[in-house]
Amino acid sequence: MRRQHKFYETPRKPWDKLRIEQENKLMKEYGLKRKREIWRAEAILRNFRRQARELAGMPGESTRKEILIGKLNRLGILPTNATLDDILALEINNILDRRLQTLVFKKGLAKTPKQARQFIVHGHISVNGRIVKWPSFLVPTELENKISFSKKKEQILTKIVKGEI
């Protein structure tokens, strides 16, 4: 059996007041359930930055640079004409904005980020016709317009409108 490992790192200073206040602000703004989600997003961002630093030190690695920038472009984090400096300038908000939970709220399918999370976990949201139950799913730009209520949710809504429920 494969051994599981953490996908995040805990902060080095657990009682840093400024960091705690920033994390609480992010949790409220994005409707996150626990700080582990922030730390996981920071780990994703740290990985992209590490790759950019490695590629900046290697001359002639233009194909790997294009692959990394292309991946971030498909995720909607960077534009097509970005450079490695743009990757190093990324912030955690760029990652959190691409989560399914945030996009469901911004599209107006839910009134609050927490309601968006509830819809996703309960299986009421589908992406490209498939139910996704993970609020942390990073949505590529090509699938951003294909976020909608699932068939199950639409049937419930029509019954409510008709007065059957």
Same domain, 68 and 141: no
In tens, the pLDDT along 99-155 reads: 999 999 999 999 999 999 999 999 999 999 999 999 999 999 999 999 999 887 777
CA 28 to chain centre: 15
**pTM for the predicted model, two decimal places:** 0.88
Structural domain for 155, as ranges? 99-165
Number of H helices, E strands in the chain: 8, 3
The DSSP symbol for 99 reads: B
Same domain, 86 and 115: no
Residue 96, H or E segment = helix 92-96
Q: How far is the C-alpha of 144 from the C-alpha of 137, rounded, in Å?
A: 12
| CATH number of the domain to which 164 belongs | 3.10.290.10
Q: Are 90 and 9 in a shared domain?
A: yes
Query: Of 65, 81, 96, which one is at a domain's C-terminal end?
Result: 96
Asked if residue 46 and residue 125 are part of one domain, the reply reads no
Instruction: Report the percent of the chain where pLDDT is more than 70.
Output: 98
Q: Would you tell me the crossing angle of helices 113-121 and 100-107 to the nearest 10 degrees?
A: 120
pLDDT, tens only, 24-80: 999 999 999 999 999 999 999 999 999 999 999 888 878 999 999 999 999 999 998
Other CB atoms within a 10 A radius of the CB of residue 59 amount to: 7
Chain-centroid distance of CA 60 in Å reads: 32
